[in-house]
Amino acid sequence: MNARCSSVLLAAAVCLGLAGTVRAEDPAELLQPGVEAPTFSLPTLTGQREALSVYCGKQLSKPYANSIHHIVILSFWATYCKPCQKEMPELSAFMKKHAGDSIKLYCVSIDKEGASIVAPFVKEKKYDTEVLLDPYKAVARKYGVKTLPSLFVIGGDGVVRYSTSGFEENTNLVARLDEIVASIRSGKVVSQKGGEGKGASVAVKDDNPEVPEAKAVATSITAKEKWNAVARKETGEPVERIAAEMGVTVNEVNGWYGELKKAAIGMWGGAAK
C-alpha cells in the first residue's frame, strides 16, 4: 500500500473518530467556550461527507486537501424553526463578506426526515449556506443543543470559543461575528454580551426516525457498504436500523466497526514510528 493510500485511510479513520479518540459524554447544557469541540463526520444534501477535523483541530485530518486551520461556525437548525429562518440570511451575508477567508460555516439540520425534507426547503428558501444532516441528533447532543438555533464558533485549534442559543432580532449578527472572529484571531477571550442567549428560539423536537423491519438476509456485503454502515453508526444512526436495511445482524455491523477501529489504530501506530 502506498503512502498516499495509507494517508487517505488514516484520515478517514480519524474523521470517524476511530483512531483511539476519547468521546465526550453528551453535555447537560449548551457546550461552553474553552471545551474542545466534539469532532464529527456528517453527510451533505448530496450524500458527500464533511468532517470538522478537515478544517480545525490540533492536527488536520486531510492536510493534502486542506492545510489551513479555519475558524469554523456551526449553526444547528431545523425546517420547523422560525427563528432559524431569520438567522440563515445573516449567516449567508457574513460568509459572502468573508469569501476567500479561512472561515468555514456549517448549518447542521436536525430534521429527522433528512434530505427528503431539507433539500426542497433549502431550495425554496434559496439558502446558499452549506447544510449538513444530523437526523439522529448525535452531533447536536454532543454539543448540548436543546433549543434552536444554537450557534458555535470554533477556533482553528478545535476549541469552542463562543456559543449561544436563540436569535436576537435587535443584534446585527454579521457585526457580532466579525467581533468574535477578530477576538479569536488576536488571542483574546470572546466576551459575552448582555442579552445573548435570550433571543427567540424553539425547543428541539424529541423524535427519531423509526427503525424499519428487517429485509431478506443479504448474501454478500461489499467493502464499500461496510464502510458506509460504519460511518452511519458513527454519526448516531441506530445500529438496529442499519442492520435491518442491510439484511444483516446487529453483531455483524458492530463487528465491522471493531475491525475498522482495530485497523485504524494499527495504521496510527505504524505512522507514529
Parse the chain into domains and list their residue ranges. 1-22+210-273, 31-203
Measure the N-to-C terminal CA separation of the chain; round to a whole number of Å: 17
Q: What is the dihedral of CA 246, 61, 143, 209, to 10 degrees?
A: -10
Q: Which residue carries 470559543 as its cell?
A: 161
pLDDT tens digit sequence for 161-220: 999 999 999 999 999 999 999 999 999 999 888 778 889 999 998 877 655 555 545 557
> For domain 31-203, is the CATH number 3.10.450.40?
no
Tens-place pLDDT, residues 210-240? 555 555 455 578 888 888 888 887 777 777 7
Q: Which helix (H) or strand (E) holds 84?
A: helix 82-97
Q: Is 32 or 234 the better-scoring residue by pLDDT?
A: 32
Q: What is the pTM of this model?
A: 0.74
* Separation of alpha carbons 131 and 226, rounded Å: 25
Bridge partners of residue 44, in order along the sequence: 132
